[in-house]
Structure formats: C-alpha cells, structure tokens
Amino acid sequence: MREERFRVLSQLRPWLLKRAQRLCYGRSDAEDLVQDVLAKYLDTFKDDQPLNEQSSMAWLATALKNAFISNIRKQSVHLKAEPDPALTVTLGLVPPDPDTAPFSTTVTDQELEQAMGSLSQKQREVFEASARGLRYAEIARELGLREGTVAKRIFDARRRLRAKLLELKGLEALPGGREE
C-alpha cells in the first residue's frame, strides 16, 4: 500500500508542480509549496487508507491553493510588522531618510549609458534581456545558456552597474545605507 501511494504521488508531482508554478513566481517557491503539500498529504492519509487517484488529485489541488494563500497571508503579516527599534540600534542600522530621493531617481540617462558601457558584452546582453522583462529560463533558452549562468551574469551586471553609478556620483555607498 505504501509503495502504491508513493508511486501515485510521484506521478502526480509534475502535475502539482505545474499548478504551483502558475501560482508562484519562481520555480524554487513552487517546489517548496509542492513539497509542503505532499508532506501534509502523507501526514493526513495513513498507509492503511485506500488510495483513490481522483480524490487525491482534488485534495492536493485544494491543499496547494490553501497553502499558497496561507503563505501570502504570512508574508503580508511580516510586511506589516513594525521594525524593532532596539534591534535597529543594536545592529547599528540607520533607517532611511524618507525625505531623501531614492538613488535610482537621481541617475541621468547619460550616467546610465556610461555605466552600461562598463559591462562586458555577455553581461550586457543578459541584463538587457532581463530589462525587457524576460525570465531567467526564457533568457537561458534564447541565448543557449544555463539558468544559473544567466542569474550569475545578471547579479554581476547589477553589482558592476551599482559600483559604476556610485563612482560617477562620487559616493562610496548609497545615501542612508540603503540597498536598491
């Protein structure tokens, strides 16, 4: 009975993962959600209970949707939470000045163009594809790269752009200690 349950769940996993990916932005979030739902399924339905594939699919789909909604609610609670002032002081963090304009709004087109010129050709093509709104997987397919390579090049491009823009502005760090 246990082997049958795992066989059915392994067959349903790709279907469940597709549903989760439609709900979540990233594949890793979708995989985490599926893992949580499958674990809950195994906890809820014991080995001695008969297995019905149709009712299992319905249960899994409902549990997936409910788990996704619960995760969003938890995130919303965390976003609404007030920061602990004692923690801010202890860690030496300086809250951003609300009157200071975000760094990104102070960059001119000429400065951005100059900073873009500091990117390598590989970084530039991946960064521009990302700026067009393509996801990592789409960029990887388009350029014949692995997703990890795309992610690394975008990370490096952002870091280089930030450093070059700070240099052009004559700053060592963003105002107020912010990361943007």
Residue count of the chain: 180
The domain that holds 158 is classified in CATH as 1.10.10.10
67 with 97, same domain: the answer is no
Query: HSE of 151 in the Cβ direction (CA atoms, 13 Å)?
Result: 5
Rounded distance between C-alpha atoms, residue 39 and residue 139, angstroms: 33
Asked whether residue 104 is assigned to any structural domain, the reply reads yes
Asked whether residue 180 is assigned to any structural domain, the reply reads no
Final residue before a domain boundary, out of 65, 80, 95: 80
pTM for the model:
0.45
Q: 175 or 45: whose pLDDT is higher?
A: 45
Q: 8 or 180: whose pLDDT is higher?
A: 8
100 with 55, same domain: the answer is no
Rounded distance between C-alpha atoms, residue 100 and residue 141, angstroms: 40
At 149-175, the pLDDT tens digits run: 999 999 999 999 988 988 888 877 655
Contact (Cβ atoms closer than 8 angstroms) between residue 165 and residue 111: yes
165 with 89, same domain: the answer is yes
Domain count, the chain: 2
| Of the candidates 96, 92, 160, the residue with the CA atom closest to the CA atom of residue 122 | 160
The residue segments making up the domain with residue 141 are: 85-175
Q: Which residue has the tokens 């521009």?
A: 128
The secondary structure element, H or E, covering residue 42 is: helix 27-44
